[in-house]
Amino acid sequence: MHLLRRRRLVIAIVGAGIALVVLSVIGLFGLLRGPAEASAPAQPVPTASALSVMPTEQPQPVLETSSPELFARSVAHALFDWDTRQDAGLADWAQVVVDVADAEEAAAVAADVRDYLPGAEMWQRLAAYGTRQWLDVESVTVPAAWATALEQAAEGQIPQGAAALTVVGTRHRVGTWDTDVERTERQVSFTVFVVCPGKESCTLLRLSKLDHPLE
């Protein structure tokens, strides 16, 4: 029975993504997946050093900056760093990203953000195990295809100051059943499309499909 309960915990931690893998292929923007496919399964966290970056206790505003890279990093953490043990609900964690959306793309960005977060039912299941999640960002780079997109875009098609940055990192999840801690990790990648007009703070245009970044 205890083994069964532990298995249920692991399923709850990663199950949201498993149910959405198919949707990530056919949807407009990527959905949050759990463990990678059989060729790249989720692995237990090997050492305490991998857990050194923990999620914030409450949703934190995205950094106000004119630097595309710093802004993309902050958006990435806002998307992936959450804690079901806190008073903040699912909508609160999503709102901090929507707050920095470009005004004309706010509705689309809200849809993108919802796709990166667990659904309401899965959030409740994760909360039952005190699940928290965070992202270790490994790289933020400008994809090669972005230069091609800029060259081929018609005048006015891409906003002035727009940039695309692909984020690669490791997503960690930790939950507790009784006194047993269950941990999973998997690599994720995605592209953040931003607009940074001069010295003004950047805004968020869109998010790519999760694990389908601009190459």
Distance CA 55, CA 135 (A): 8
Q: For CA atoms 184, 190, 194, 196, give the dihedral sign.
A: positive
Using DSSP, state whether 188 is helix, strand or coil: strand
Residue 10, in any domain of the structure:
yes
Mean pLDDT of the chain: 81
pLDDT digits (tens, 9 = 90+) for 88-126: 999 999 999 999 999 999 999 999 999 999 999 999 999
Q: Is 72 a member of any domain?
A: yes
In total, how many domains does the chain have?
1
- Say if CB 88 and CB 59 are below 8 A apart: yes
Residue 51: domain span: 2-33+43-207
Q: Which two tokens stand for residue 128?
A: 């039952």
In a domain, 189, yes or no: yes
Residue 12 in domain: yes
Is position 24 within any domain? yes
Domain-located, residue 185:
yes
For the whole model, what pTM was predicted?
Answer: 0.76
Counting beta carbons within 10 angstroms of the beta carbon of residue 110, is it exposed (0 to 12), middle (13 to 18) or buried (19 or more)? Answer: middle
Q: Is residue 212 part of a domain?
A: no
Please indicate, yes or no, if residue 172 is contained in any of the structural domains: yes
Find, among 91, 59, 102, the residue nearest to 77 by Cα: 59
What totals of helices (H) and strands (E) does the chain contain, helices first?
6, 5
Q: Which residue has the higher pLDDT, 79 or 20?
A: 79
Q: Does residue 131 register a pLDDT over 90?
A: yes
- The radius of gyration of the chain's CA atoms, rounded to the nearest angstrom, is 18
